[in-house]
């Protein structure tokens, strides 16, 4: 099935919602248009000139990036500058660029969950609460002939997910009655005559952030000209999200062994260690990809023995030592695991939806640092 950029991003945002991004984070479409067919999509951590050259060589139509290429306002659009020349190259080759930044960190499962998997952490939870959405209940009246397709399409969009379960719903059978007017175009029954239809009352729960998706699916797949449904607020359920994760190792390790473990897991030759002593055991580890030093007090409050995050500031490191928290700074580039993880996810969507599109991982390293 041919896929447009708009269709792909709509699906993407149903899994990685823009609403999860931190305030002021410039997520979304940065360059070009999504109103076009796409045949090749490339996933990258950063959009740099070498990545753009790669995208041009590989006939890419859409780039999905973890780091927004336009983070601050642009004051000039001259092609004498390497940055704006890169933007011009993207536009001249009709390559769109879409960025998902902190929403990739916050969503579950997301980048920090994959870090926890690599480290072997269990009993994980988020480090710092960022979003709390109320849940809603959908009550939908569907002719029995179409009840299965409504369950399937809503379930694929994540409706009915809660507490480790998905595709959750409840159905009861009944009879729907209505009289189509002379101005209507009824799915069943005759105009000006009362009709009776075997229907199912279908009930689903979903987080408030999915409200527009739910309405779109009903409009697209429900057979009735005017679908009958109710949406209620739920007082006893919330959908919580946060930055970072904290969890426990299967067995405590010495700090030095933990440092070795982190280097092996992330394929690093070296890391920066901040600690008041090497004579300590590590069991509870907090982690936040990217520049997460401002959340170190959350790690302390939740009982972390060790905090892993990038770009630790010199003076903040002094404060961490005084607080008795050991910290490993593995650099920012460990986030590059998102490239393979998301392409794997994209290909699962491709198989389930029958899309005619190729998803590729950028092979360009955008790590600006070398350890020598």
CA dihedral 204, 205, 210, 214 (to 10 degrees): 10
Note the pLDDT of residue 164.
Answer: 82
Termini Cα distance of the chain: 49
- Tell whether 53 and 146 lie within a shared domain: no
Same-domain status, 168 and 215: yes
Q: How many domains is the chain built from?
A: 3
Positions of the chain with pLDDT lower than 50, given as ranges = none
Tokens of 24: 């002021």
In a domain, 245, yes or no: yes
Give the domain CATH number at 19.
3.40.1390.30
For residues 141 and 90, state if they share a domain: no
**Alpha-carbon torsion angle 4, 14, 105, 343, nearest 10:** -40
In-domain check, residue 97: yes
Instruction: Kindly state whether residue 368 falls inside one of the protein's structural domains.
Output: no
Question: In terms of domains, do 271 and 206 share one?
Answer: no
Q: Among residues 213, 240, 267, which one ends one of the domains?
A: 240
Q: Does residue 369 fall inside a structural domain?
A: no
Q: Is position 39 within any domain?
A: yes
Judge if 139 and 235 occupy the same domain.
Answer: yes
In a domain, 151, yes or no: yes
Domain that holds residue 53: 3-105+335-361
CB 28 within 8 A of CB 99: yes
At which of 214, 240, 266 does a domain end? 240
C-alpha to C-alpha distances, 372 to 110, 228, 330, nearest whole angstrom: 32, 66, 15
* Domain boundary residue, one of 240, 272, 307: 240
370 occurs within a structural domain: no
Asked if residue 229 and residue 204 are part of one domain, the reply reads yes
Assess if residue 99 is contained within a domain.
Answer: yes
Average pLDDT over all residues of the chain: 95
Query: For the whole model, what pTM was predicted?
Result: 0.84
Both 261 and 230 in one domain: the answer is: no
Token representation of residue 103: 């929403």
Burial of 229 (0-12, 13-18, 19+ CB in 10 A): middle
Is the domain of 10 the same as that of 71?
yes
Q: Which helix (H) or strand (E) holds 262?
A: helix 255-266
Using alpha carbons, select from 80, 82, 107 the residue that is nearest to residue 12.
107
CATH of the domain at 216: 3.30.70.120
Same domain, 100 and 154: no
Whether 158 and 119 share a structural domain: no
pLDDT at 72: 84
Pair 86, 121 in one domain: no
Query: Does residue 314 sit in the same domain as residue 354?
Result: no
């Amino acid at each position: 099935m041919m896929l447009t950029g708009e269709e792909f991003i709509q699906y993407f945002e149903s899994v990685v919602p823009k609403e999860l991004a931190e305030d002021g984070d410039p997520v979304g479409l940065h360059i070009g248009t999504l109103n076009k067919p796409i045949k090749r999509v490339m996933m990258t951590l950063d959009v740099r000139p070498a990545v753009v050259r790669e995208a041009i060589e590989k006939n890419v139509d859409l780039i999905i990036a973890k780091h927004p290429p336009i983070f601050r306002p642009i004051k000039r659009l001259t092609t004498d500058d390497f940055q704006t020349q890169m933007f011009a190259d993207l536009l001249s080759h009709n390559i769109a660029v879409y960025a998902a930044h902190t929403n990739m960190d916050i969503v579950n499962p997301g980048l920090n969950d994959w870090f926890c998997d690599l480290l072997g952490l269990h009993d994980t939870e988020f480090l710092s609460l960022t979003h709390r959405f109320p849940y809603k209940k959908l009550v939908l009246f569907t002719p029995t002939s179409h009840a299965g397709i409504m369950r399937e399409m809503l379930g694929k969009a994540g409706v009915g997910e809660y507490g480790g379960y998905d595709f959750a719903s409840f159905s009861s059978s009944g009879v729907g009655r209505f009289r189509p007017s002379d101005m209507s175009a009824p799915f069943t029954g005759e105009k000006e005559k009362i009709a009776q239809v075997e229907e199912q009352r279908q009930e689903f729960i979903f987080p408030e952030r999915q409200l527009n998706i739910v309405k779109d699916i009903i409009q697209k797949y429900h057979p009735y000209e005017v679908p009958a449904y109710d949406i209620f607020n739920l007082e006893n359920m919330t959908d919580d999200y946060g930055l970072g994760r904290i969890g426990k190792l299967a067995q405590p390790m010495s700090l030095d062994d933990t440092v070795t473990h982190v280097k092996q897991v992330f394929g690093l030759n070296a890391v920066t260690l901040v600690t008041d002593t090497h004579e300590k055991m590590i069991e509870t580890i907090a982690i936040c990809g990217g520049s997460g030093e401002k959340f170190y007090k959350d790690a302390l409050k939740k009982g972390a023995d060790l905090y892993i995050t990038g770009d630790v500031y010199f003076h903040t490191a002094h404060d961490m030592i005084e607080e008795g928290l050991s910290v490993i700074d593995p650099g920012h580039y460990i986030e590059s695991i998102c490239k393979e993880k998301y392409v794997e996810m994209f290909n699962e969507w491709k198989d389930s939806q029958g899309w005619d599109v190729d998803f590729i991982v950028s092979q360009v390293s955008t790590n600006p640092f070398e350890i020598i």
